[in-house]
Structure 1
Amino acid sequence: MTVTNIAEGEAPSEQTGEFTTDLTVTDRHDAADGVVTLTLSAPDGQTLPAWKPGAHIDLLLDDGLVRQYSLCGDPRDTGHWRIGVLLDPASRGGSRLVHDRLHAGSTVRVRGPRNNFPLVDAGEYLFIAGGIGITPILAMADEAHRSGTEWSLLYLGRTAATMAFADDLVDRYGDRVRLWRDDEHGLFDIGAELAEPRENTLVYCCGPEPLLAAVEEHCGTWPAGSLRIERFTAKQIEPTEGALENFQVECRKSGVTVDVSGDTSILEALEDADVEIFSSCQEGICGTCEASVLEGEPDHRDSMLTDEQRAAGTVILTCVSRSRSAKLVLDL
């Protein structure tokens, strides 16, 4: 990632190449019941790092909280970033802090952008969004539209009042957008929607776990690689046969080797040994703690990597995954 004209004196991390700086909230808007959008800008109108549809940023909040939010503005706007934040009734503090403390004029520390949900070339796209899962899809739909690629969007929500950006989407794209409100029509039949596999079509889905699980199930008959998902919460991952309770992790760049026991994560062992590595979600969904694997066989327990990435075994999310070999060698 190329970074220009931001926060003189700061630099991208050697580990991730990510940029960390303080941004100002220049606009706050109520987008739906329980959803606010924040527009973030750099001091003095400086240029922000480039990003592509599917990217998210970390907000480094008070009390040590770090939360990820998808960028939902226009990637061509190099002066502003926009995010949408749902106030989660079960919030562990992150969304509550955003809603209560970040207003126009507030300053917030930001890290990124990072993209674990990239829009790759396809003959056609089917976008499926549930609730606040619409945020990463907004820029994807715009990119597909501008490129002339065939696409459609199915946007599911509980009520009209809870569906942020819905009216704007229909105004801009017309019948490419289908809105489904549970209070008017009942639950959507996702099985019927995905019953017939489509060649040369990629399905992009983001939303609550029940929706993602249903889409995964019903895309099982589609061509391999047809489905791309971004999760807000981790899946339940069962340990695989051959996973080790105790193993070593060698950090090739730093020359540090650590022992990892059954009650310690790789990330915790690395942090205890003062190995520089970023972390955020601690659940295997954001990719912040990803490391390259040089030797050994990971035991993947994350909810982010694709089946192809798991099979390749060249990266690992250190916050949750473990090892099937006595030693893992990481590029740290």
Structure 2
Amino acid sequence: MQKNTVLINKAETPAGVCPFAHGAMAPATTDPHGCPVSSGAEAFDPFDSAYQADPAEVLRWSRDDEPVFFSPKLGYWVVTRYDDVKAVFRDNTVFSPANALEKITPSSSEAESILKKYNYGMARTLVNEDEPAHLERRRALMFSFAPEELLHHEPMVRRLTREYVNRFVNEGKADLVNEMLWEIPLTVALHFLGVPEEDMGTLREYSIAHTVNTWGRPTPEQQLKVADSVGKFWNYAGKVLEKMRDDPSGHGWMKYAIRRQKELPEVITDSYLHSMMMAGIVAAHETTAHATANALRLLLENRSTWDRICQDASLIPQAVEECLRHSGSIVAWRRVALEDTEVGGVKIPKGGKLLIANASANHDERYFEDPDSIDIFRDNASEHLSFGYGSHQCLGKNLARMEMCIFLEELTKRLPHMRLSDNQDFKYLPNIAFRGPENLFVEWDVSLNPEKTAPEILETSQAIKIGAPSKEAVFREVVIDQIRHEADNVIGITLKNQDGSDFPKWSPGAHIDLMVGEFTRKYSLCGYNDTPNTLDVAVLREENGRGGSRYIHDTLKQGDTLKIKGPKNNFRLDEKAERYILIAGGIGITPILTMADRLAGLGKDYCIHYAGSTRSSMAFLNRLEQDHAGRCELYPKSEDRRADLKTLVSAADATTRIYVCGPDRMIETLEELCEHLPEDVLHFEHFAAKTESYDTSQDKAFELVLANSGMVVTVEPGQTALNALKAAGVEVESDCEEGLCGNCEVEVLEGEIDHRDNVLARSEKSENKRMVTCCSRAKTHSVKVAL
């Protein structure tokens, strides 16, 4: 299966063109280009209570209709879709993090005077520093974040968690934020930094003040109090740092940094250490405290999911990752454009400030299926942007993951019957960056505490794996409810969850991965997507294939259990066009059928053109006749009927969408016929991997030059670019690793590619601006990529 990856839904207005007729309206509010802003953009206010409560929902209109907009109230361009947010994070040569710690609300002169009194001088940190200084310092200070180093903190986190739960486990109620979730991450943060564990209450006050000072909207009166606390925080950080200088031996990131300063005095400066001390205290605990509170609220509101992880603690890492995606603690981050550029087809001027909305991106249905639900079996959950992406991705992400896993393990083990208290009003500290409830009230029946009858549970614990759960470990176990004949050599398989629960919602064009025997194969969903407790696929037996379909046909039977991944969608239907031409070849009817179902439900103008060898080999003919009568043309080759593709697409224009799934030859012909049309007209998906074989014996080594870091990675003969990058510690997302899904695609800046994928369109391959790293190679000695 495959997508035409260039086809990302875009606003209907051409890139860089103002969608408003300037002469037809008075530009009451305009963006920096002089173009009137939309009503949604004009109304957007990140300090509004609705946005604080649910930023992704408030920005839904933007993801759907105006994914990049200018906010007059902020003076920022707001970026809301996944691909655009990720692209901004990735490109730190065009988008500088210099404004990440800039005050969103300018301080009054009185507040500045207070800060000056304390000699406040917050300088650049890892968060807001440009290259090459950022990467040089990051590399110098990475040691403390290595997996083996982070594991040293596990016993302390477990001990603290046990002690704090002991305080309230027999009380029957608690405010988890104030009685656990704020203090433990702060203590861990101090321990990680090597800071003395004292003045907890004062540090909490300082931390809140720093957040409000940088990302909040304090009143003039509040600014004075905030400035005083921030100034004291600055002095506190300086005093602790000086104490450490007297004896920098022992554990702690800051002590390690002081030792490294002696080796690299020009890289790790005094001002840098002072700023990192203060920023580290905030960053290392506040985001973890908020993220855990968000996760617990989400899980307790989704009781079946909570019960599931209570019964099977091995699912907790998956739950953590999905909670970070759904309700992460970092709502948005900031960048500034260093040159005139474009994001999502919108022109951003040099000096333009961007608010990149992580929370919105994590709910983008163009990337995550059914994004508003919580699904701990979502195998791409770890691709969330809650920790950022690229060279500035959060250094402490794996420490946060470890803490969250231990918190959830202890609470699910000791208080599985815990529930949210009724009628509580969740409040959030108004700011543009961090989000978490100020209180989280829970209650339970003490008489039901498991440790009263099974005290041995207190001695159990799950092994901690540092990092996100492996994709290979994230799958659903399902049962085959039915196997039926659909056509010659085609069987239909209906799957159900073992416990009878519903599957996540899925959209037309979605697929699942069937994991059977030693095979993993992708199959489009072809049932009705309004039957939530079943999933249906159709499998064509391919005698000359790679063996997976033969195994499925010969081995599987009703009642068998197997593993699946998904649903996922790389072949998404654009529902905003005026008319649709749906073309299927053979088993390619499976995704096309679900698209036709959706278009019929929307009342759209569509037609289906379905080609096959014989009628008996063409699946779902009865369903097509029943549900799409009058809109379907059949072309059985045995009846000497051939689809005239040229005629079928001759009337297509910019208001048309053509979706095709079928053999390579059919798709290649349609690419030729549609070359004169706008790029978002033709969408395609192959139903099989490329049958063309490449003579890999002639492959030569080549170099990948990473633009953002200057790193050079050598790709040896017989090695994929993807594996070479991963071996070098470079994070690149991947899925099928067969050149089918496009998840591992990278942008090419220089060099010529030997394209071996089934993802990119012919026009994209000729442009030579993208590379599918799991299979393609270089024709030139080196290739420069945007990594």
Which residue matches 2:538?
Answer: 84
Which residue matches 1:241?
Answer: none
* 8 Å contact kept, 2:753–2:768: no
* 8 Å contact kept, 2:703–2:783: yes
Which residue matches 1:280?
Answer: 736
TM-superposed CA distance for 1:294, in Å, is: 10
Whole-angstrom CA distance in 2 between matches of 1:298 and 1:56: 32
Which residue matches 2:703?
Answer: 247
The amino acid across from 1:194 in the alignment is V
TM-superposed CA distance for 1:140, in Å, is: 0.3
TM-superposed CA distance for 1:96, in Å, is: 0.6
Equivalent position to 1:73, from 527, 532, 546: 527
Deviates further, 46-55 or 22-31: 46-55
* 8 Å contact kept, 1:209–1:233: no
Q: Deviations over 1:205-249 (max 9, x none)?
A: 0111222222222223334321111012338699xxxxx951147
Question: For 1:141, what is the secondary structure of its paired residue?
Answer: helix
Which residue matches 2:776?
Answer: 321
Is 1:161 matched with 2:616? yes
Matches within 5 A, 1:1-332: 8=309, 9=315, 11=318, 12=379, 15-16=382-383, 19-63=474-518, 65-120=519-574, 121-231=576-686, 232-234=688-690, 245-248=701-704, 258-270=713-725, 278-280=734-736, 282=738, 284-287=739-742, 289-290=743-744, 299=753, 301=755, 302-305=757-760, 316-322=771-777, 326-328=783-785, 330=787
TM-superposed CA distance for 1:82, in Å, is: 0.8
TM-superposed CA distance for 1:300, in Å, is: 7.3
Whole-angstrom CA distance in 2 between matches of 1:294 and 1:198: 30
* 8 Å contact kept, 1:127–1:137: yes
TM-score by length of 1: 0.82
| Aligned Cα root-mean-square deviation (Å) | 3.5
The alpha-carbon distance between structure 1 residues 307 and 278, as it changes in their structure 2 partners (threshold 3 A), is same
Question: For 1:112, what is the secondary structure of its paired residue?
Answer: strand
Whole-angstrom CA distance in 1 between matches of 2:506 and 2:707: 30
Whole-angstrom CA distance in 2 between matches of 1:214 and 1:291: 24
Question: For 1:45, what is the secondary structure of its paired residue?
Answer: coil
Whole-angstrom CA distance in 2 between matches of 1:251 and 1:221: 33
Deviates further, 218-227 or 256-265: 256-265
The alpha-carbon distance between structure 1 residues 213 and 329, as it changes in their structure 2 partners (threshold 3 A), is closer
Whole-angstrom CA distance in 2 between matches of 1:221 and 1:237: 30
Whole-angstrom CA distance in 1 between matches of 2:596 and 2:563: 28
TM-superposed CA distance for 1:66, in Å, is: 1.7
Which protein has the bigger helix share? 2
TM-superposed CA distance for 1:130, in Å, is: 0.8
Whole-angstrom CA distance in 2 between matches of 1:13 and 1:218: 35
Question: For 2:482, what is the secondary structure of its paired residue?
Answer: strand
Whole-angstrom CA distance in 2 between matches of 1:15 and 1:251: 24
Deviates further, 198-207 or 297-306: 297-306
TM-score by length of 2: 0.37
* 8 Å contact kept, 1:249–1:260: no
Whole-angstrom CA distance in 2 between matches of 1:67 and 1:299: 27
Q: Deviations over 1:151-199 (max 9, x none)?
A: 1101111111001001211122211111121111343322232333344
The alpha-carbon distance between structure 1 residues 26 and 257, as it changes in their structure 2 partners (threshold 3 A), is farther
Count of residue pairs the alignment pairs up: 319
TM-superposed CA distance for 1:295, in Å, is: 8.1
* 8 Å contact kept, 1:296–1:329: no
TM-superposed CA distance for 1:138, in Å, is: 1.1
Unaligned runs of 5+ in 2: 1-81, 83-297, 310-314, 319-378, 385-470, 695-699
TM-superposed CA distance for 1:71, in Å, is: 0.9
Task: Tell me which structure has the larger Cα radius of gyration.
Answer: 2
TM-superposed CA distance for 1:79, in Å, is: 1.5
Whole-angstrom CA distance in 2 between matches of 1:320 and 1:75: 33
* 8 Å contact kept, 1:249–1:328: yes
Identity percentage over the alignment?
Answer: 31
TM-superposed CA distance for 1:319, in Å, is: 0.9
